[in-house]
Structure 1
Amino acid sequence: MELKQRIDAFVQLGKVLGQCAGSKDWSGYTHGVSQSDFDSFSQLLNQVYLQNGWFTEENVRKACLEWSRALSKENLEQWTSAYSDLNGNEKLKTIALIMAGNIPMVGFHDLVCVLISGNKALIKMSSEDDRLLPWILTYLVVHIEPEFASRIKFASGKLEDFSAVIATGSDNTMRYFEKYFGTYPHIFRGNRTSVAVLDGSETEEELNALGHDIFDYFGLGCRNVSKLFIPKDFDLDRFFGAIYSFHPIVQHKKYANNYDYNKAIMMMNQDDLIENGFLLVKEDDRLHSPLGALYVERYTDLNKVTEKLKSDENEIQCVVSKSNIPFGKSQSPELWDYADHVDTLKFLLNC
């Protein structure tokens, strides 16, 4: 398979995801999607939610639409143009992918990297997210590019016969990864979180957009903001007013249970707590806040914040601010925005 053939396949897949996730009604054969395939995708959304209550229809559709946007011809060509070795690369090494299951399609970027690089994928899915990806890949090999069929394999038991590993999990599973896969070329990913830095001049629209960085996917992703740096005299009422439109999140049972539990813990600890019924805000110098909560740290010197972010860079996935990732865009990464800032394509071309 030439690179162009691989790119064309993912461009088409992006269009299919956009059609399936972008509407609840079939719009005809716009991108070659039959009504039966469209209906099966709609049924899949319900099955996914029944299996994992965090994977609401809204969140799964959002994830698919983000990938539809990312997999444009322009994006794929811009991304791959930086790697001259991709042209005609047919190494056909087997790369084991151990995927997380915290948000929908969280491991899809690794899979795209493996297939775009001309390699084979041996996929170990999370039990929390093992329905959506098989549907997407079945559509890819049946309706778009059959040559990918021999390059995709799902592993249900022990991983065997692979050349390198990309594994995503928690800090606890990192020890497991090191023990069993440390002798292979690898990328191991543990716990990270994201932060936002305000300078006080943000508009209401920007603060509202920040709500997406905090609440999208219920805050379960490593790209979700769990810590907010604010000027010493910043009025948090501005922030609370701007994010009020996100209050329906507390109607979700699993989120509400976490919110209530963490509120009770903080109250028992007699923490100085501000809450608005759907978000717990606590002044704390730590980065990782519990679900339903946001840590806030006030500052007088922005340079010291920059120094702190530098010292904690191995714990931070991304920084949202006026000079970094725009407000509202933390969960909309581009193809070249690599997790943990490790160039996955470069790794695959050299492993």
Structure 2
Amino acid sequence: TRESLDAWIPMWPLGGTASRTVGMVGAGNLPLVALHDLLCGYVAGHRVRFKASSDDPILTAEVLRRLKSLDSEADIEVVDRMNGVEALIATGGDQAVAHFDQYFATVPRILRGARTSAAVVPADATDAELDALSDDLFRYFGRGCRSVTHLALERGFDVQRLFASWMKWSRIAEHARYGSNYDYHRALFMLNREPFLENNWVVLREHETLKPPLSVVHTTWHDSTAAAESWLDAQSDQLQTVVGRGRTPFGQSQFPALWDYADGVDTPAFLVGLG
């Protein structure tokens, strides 16, 4: 919003004014996932060369077209190759990030690998909190670094309340790819005789892994919310955000402010420092 932009721009650090050619590589797990990086590049006044994911070729290109219709001097182009870039911002899987780190070893870079998000669920969680939490879990099928995929539960919480709060999202099972993942992993866990709970469209499984496969939500039990938070904080390098009381509010994991920078890396400071 205009109000957010007016609050955000004064936060930018002062720095050089030289324009650099900055390459940006977008992930394809969510629509417009690279929009914040592109906005930062535009505000910084750099020449941006953007490589879109094959899974997100339309929306980002349309946003850039509209930006250029408002500012014909905006030097942002969609490219197929990162030739001649002086800095790089790239987001992708861990293997892709390792490749970028090696290939662009001589230029300043921000590289973001695979992360996920988790939530701390107190034993006395309200119905409203659980309803909002379901949005954090399923808004984008559980994809993307800000989707909650792991629930750190306080002992005494009734897990059946989760299934009741999730029913409004049951329609995602109608998506063929999601439904196939659910069928596959449910069958796999049954063959392996692994205990789990399910409601015909999502599997709830006790496991310490923070990032389960699509259609699966992992849980761990903790003696208190403080213990749950401590356990998650010890793995902060794998997490984008933690939802809970006193943390990112329930239902808000997918709505970061302009100054909530991915992986905690200050993108404006990086871009301004290039000049």
TM-score calculated relative to the size of structure 1:
0.76
The answer as to 2:269 corresponding to 1:340 is no
**What does residue range 35-184 of structure 1 map to in structure 2 within 5 Å?**
72-85=1-14, 90-142=17-69, 144-148=70-74, 151-156=75-80, 158-184=81-107
Letter in 1 for 2:78: F
The CA distance in 2 between the partners of 1:233 and 1:200, in whole Å, is 5
The CA distance in 1 between the partners of 2:226 and 2:43, in whole Å, is 40
Contact kept? 1:100, 1:126, Cα under 8 Å: yes
Q: How far off is 1:305 after superposition?
A: 2.1
Contact kept? 1:197, 1:319, Cα under 8 Å: yes
**What does residue range 1-351 of structure 1 map to in structure 2 within 5 Å?**
72-85=1-14, 90-142=17-69, 144-148=70-74, 151-156=75-80, 158-351=81-274
Letter in 1 for 2:104: F
Q: Which has the higher helix share?
A: 1
Secondary structure of the equivalent of 1:217? coil
Secondary structure of the equivalent of 1:260? helix
Query: After the TM superposition, which segments of 4 or more aligned residues of structure 1 sit over 4 Å from their partners?
Result: none
Residue number in structure 2 paired with 1:49: none
Secondary structure of the equivalent of 1:188? strand
Distance 1:332 1:248, change over 3 A: same
Contact kept? 2:13, 2:268, Cα under 8 Å: no
Residue number in structure 2 paired with 1:44: none
The CA distance in 1 between the partners of 2:65 and 2:162, in whole Å, is 44
Letter in 2 for 1:152: I
Secondary structure of the equivalent of 2:221? strand
- Larger relative contact order (Cα-Cα within 8 Å, sequence gap ≥ 6): 2
Give the % identical residues.
36
Letter in 2 for 1:146: S
Contact kept? 1:192, 1:222, Cα under 8 Å: yes
Contact kept? 1:193, 1:315, Cα under 8 Å: yes
Contact kept? 2:115, 2:240, Cα under 8 Å: yes
Q: How far off is 1:97 after superposition?
A: 0.1
Secondary structure of the equivalent of 2:42? helix
The gaps in structure 2 that reach 5 residues or longer are none
Q: Which has the higher strand share?
A: 2
Contact kept? 2:118, 2:243, Cα under 8 Å: yes
The CA distance in 2 between the partners of 1:174 and 1:258, in whole Å, is 25
Letter in 2 for 1:301: S
Tell me the C-alpha RMSD between the 2 structures: 1.3
The CA distance in 2 between the partners of 1:243 and 1:265, in whole Å, is 23
* Count of residue correspondences: 274
